[in-house]
A = this chain, B = another copy of it.
């Protein structure tokens, strides 16, 4: 049992603890909003058939921008500075924003991931339906554990939620692995990186979720869960979207080469492309 369960905020945070979460949320708002502007505007840089994937990326980070504004304001309202430390004000910090966000954005992220696979329309549709259904079960079963005051409740719901979580990751890993072989040389490396990013970013969520179960309690648990989810969201949304953009851009180039039968010679400002890709690969 936790002395200060997660759903009930710790009564006191040090200035450093409060500000770490505060700054992580603000950084996340800036990252989400900037990448929304980027994805909306970068659609013109890829061939028409890749533009829907970029539009979906733009929607994902737009939705997240909205929710992180709400989360930021909730955090700011939940504590007040008094004698150098932050005390709870009694205004609750609402964890449901994250789950509402995921309910909208995770199915959209799956659309992006499946779009990259470039499967036959029928296969694509049936795969997406299965994954989206699993995502909804994953999010719906994770929530009761998130808001519970009891470690055992958190552990039970967390375990149930892990089943669809592992199913989604397993299916995507297998499908992305198969897709690598079908890609032009320039794209193989990017799809491989995308596969690793998927594992890395999704892997942070259960770690953050389970921090209290691992015996990390009180203020440290709250700070760890919030910063952990924020890092995972930045990796899973804007950074994942940048990989989707890089893949779409590389495929656009590869299509051009194929149709003209020659390599596009990078001239002058065309060198901007790798510069942008460099940023994408960071």
Q: Interface of A with B (CB < 8 Å)?
A: 15, 19, 22-23, 26-27, 29-31, 33-34, 37-38, 40-42, 44-45, 47, 49-53, 55-56, 58-59, 62-63, 66-67, 70, 81, 90-92, 94, 96-97, 100-101, 103-104, 107-108, 111, 114-115, 117-122, 124-125, 128-129, 132, 248, 251, 255, 266, 268-279, 281-282
Residue pair A31, B269 in contact (C-beta under 8 Å) = no
Partner of A52, one of B50, B119, B272: B272
Contacts A53-B272, A272-B49, A277-B125 given; indicate if A30 touches B118 (C-beta within 8 A). Answer: no
Query: In the assembly, what is the distance between CA of A23 and CA of B95, in Å?
Result: 10
Residue pair B30, A104 in contact (C-beta under 8 Å) = yes
Contacts A19-B94, A91-B81, A278-B111 given; indicate if A120 touches B37 (C-beta within 8 A). Answer: no
Copy number of this protein in the oligomer?
A: 2
Residue pair A278, B128 in contact (C-beta under 8 Å) = yes
Measured between beta carbons, the chain B residues less than 8 angstroms from A63 are 30, 33-34
Residue pair A52, B276 in contact (C-beta under 8 Å) = yes
Query: In the assembly, what is the distance between CA of A122 and CA of B273, in Å?
Result: 11
Partner of A49, one of B66, B97, B268: B268
Measured between beta carbons, the chain B residues less than 8 angstroms from A59 are 34, 37-38
Partner of A19, one of B91, B96, B103, B119: B96
Residue pair B122, A276 in contact (C-beta under 8 Å) = no
Partner of A30, one of B33, B81, B100: B100
